[in-house]
Amino acid sequence: MKADDSFSIKVAVTQGNMAGGLAYFGKDCVCDCLRYRNLRLESGKIYGLISEYGQGCMYLSYLLGGRVTTDELSISVDEKEVSMPDLAKLSWNLESSKERYRNAVVIKAIQKAIKRNGLSDSFSDIQNRFFLKPSRQDRKLFQLSGERWRASAALGYAEGKRIFYAPYKTSDFYYEMCQSGLLKALKELTASGAVVLLPCGSDYFLKHIVDECIYLDHMHDCYMEELQNRYQEIFGHGEWIRDAETQKNSRVMQAIQGRRSVRRYLAEEVSRETIEVILRAGMQAPSAKNRQPWRFIVATGRAKAEALDMMEKGLEREKTAPFLPESAEHLQGAWQSLEIMRQAPVIIFVVNTLGAEIGKSMTVDEQVSEICNAQSIGAALENMSLAAEEQGLGSLWICNTFFAQKELGIWLNVEGELYAAMVVGYAEGNFLAGTRKRMQDVVEWRE
């Protein structure tokens, strides 16, 4: 199939009118379930695949990318049934982080593809059409941040791919990526006659940029309260069904529901401007008596390495002269936190500028003030984690720094007490939400 050739994709259920399937994606054990039904997609279009996380949108995307096998479906291109290996030859993953071409140097890979496929386009043509910055053309795909999907799209175009698919992402991810020109790149793909598949949990933003939304979530046909109660009865947890209207209308709730504690990061830079957005969110947090008792120390590069070397010294010291002797069972977790902090490109140390030295004797009034200031710091950290989610970044709120409180305090050299650290970066892989207690277990209504 050549570029600019129009085509259609037909998905047909071979066993009955509707069937169901389950797929796992990679070593992260991310899974997704799809209730199969008959579908038809046309070339030259961007499709939003809309469902709750784990209810089919990523499954369908990877299915049409030739990455999922099933005996219950037949997939045809222009009415000719194709095998999964043949479908995979037509397809390209916009998210390169898990693909073999993640290490491809942008300019070299695109030039080789142009030559191999006999394209009339030059690298400069593709660079301009996909809005690729000359200053980053010598980088590998995984080293790019906001430009990564555009560069992947450009390489897939040069390779002659016809179906472009992606993993599950939030509305805010697509919003932020489109701020940096992703939509231009996707339009270039559809102008060449390709199909683009964007899985997402909501049409909140996608409905404004895609040609058509395919809604895969059938849960609205069920008795939701009865189903949720049954799930909780069996498993003991399960605030798992989101309020669809809340999710659709509230960016705040989308960020809350989409936030994850991320423990693996890509080796990609995060711009200073993006970090400042996160910091401003923290600075907007409510605080007791408006004291705003926070100071943020942002560590990257060499400074980050120096800070973590000091933390490592503290963890080593903790083995023989413990600062937290009754928490020794958690020391191994602190070493794991250190490895995560080394992997992430950015660490934000959060200091309580009014904090008393840990262990100091305090009056009741001082204790209350300390508690209030700690709540203020917590509010700032929560704002920051939600802002990171909105920016398409992963984050992890870390308190294992207390094992190296003295050593990190020396390195920070600021007034106050270190209360926490937050690492920020682009997540490597997808992360499932942790379970939550049932509402009836934590809420008491009094009237």
How confident is the model at residue 220, as a pLDDT?
42
How confident is the model at residue 70, as a pLDDT?
75
CA-CA-CA-CA dihedral for 145, 147, 150, 152, to nearest 10: -50
Distance CA 17, CA 313 (A): 63
Q: Would you call 212 helix, strand, or coil by DSSP?
A: strand
Closest Cα to residue 218, out of 425, 17, 423?
17
Distance CA 300, CA 347 (A): 7
Closest Cα to residue 87, out of 169, 150, 158, 11?
11
Distance CA 422, CA 120 (A): 48
Structural domains of the chain in order of their starting residue, each with its CATH number: 8-221 (3.40.50.300), 272-425 (3.40.109.10)
Distance CA 61, CA 251 (A): 24
In sequence order, what are the residues at sequence separation of 6 or more whose Cβ sits closer than 8 angstroms to the Cβ of residue 180? 146, 147, 150
How confident is the model at residue 238, as a pLDDT?
46
Judge whether 276 and 253 are in contact, CB under 8 Å: no
Neighbours of 132 (CB within 10 A): 24
Residue 145 DSSP class: S
pLDDT tens digits in sequence order for the chain, 447 residues long: 455 567 788 887 665 555 566 666 665 556 777 776 788 899 999 999 998 777 788 889 998 999 887 777 788 898 888 888 899 999 999 999 888 899 999 999 999 999 999 999 999 999 999 999 898 999 999 888 778 999 999 999 999 999 999 998 988 888 888 877 888 899 999 999 999 999 998 888 888 889 999 988 544 444 455 555 555 555 554 444 444 444 445 678 778 878 888 999 998 899 999 999 999 999 999 999 999 999 999 999 999 999 999 999 999 999 999 999 999 889 999 999 999 999 999 999 999 999 999 988 999 999 999 999 999 999 999 999 999 998 989 999 999 999 999 999 999 999 999 999 999 999 887 666 666 777 888 899 999
Distance CA 209, CA 205 (A): 7
How confident is the model at residue 3, as a pLDDT?
52
The residue ranges of DSSP E strands in 97-206, in sequence order, are 163-165, 195-200
| Nearest-10 crossing angle of helices 148-158, 182-191 | 20
Judge whether 346 and 300 are in contact, CB under 8 Å: yes
Please compute Rg for the chain using Cα positions: 25
Burial class (CB in 10 A: 0-12, 13-18, 19+), 334: buried
How confident is the model at residue 75, as a pLDDT?
87
Phi, psi torsion values for 30, nearest 5 degrees: -75, 130
Partnered with residue 441 across adjacent β-strands are none
How confident is the model at residue 432, as a pLDDT?
61
CA dihedral for 132, 135, 137, 141, sign (positive or negative):
negative
User: What is the length of the chain?
Assistant: 447
Could you tell me the two tokens for 59? Answer: 């499954």
Task: Supply the DSSP string of 32-64, one letter for each residue.
Answer: EEEEE--EEEETT-EEEEE--TTSSHHHHHHHH
Q: Would you call 207 helix, strand, or coil by DSSP?
A: helix
Judge whether 254 and 202 are in contact, CB under 8 Å: yes
Distance CA 355, CA 243 (A): 39
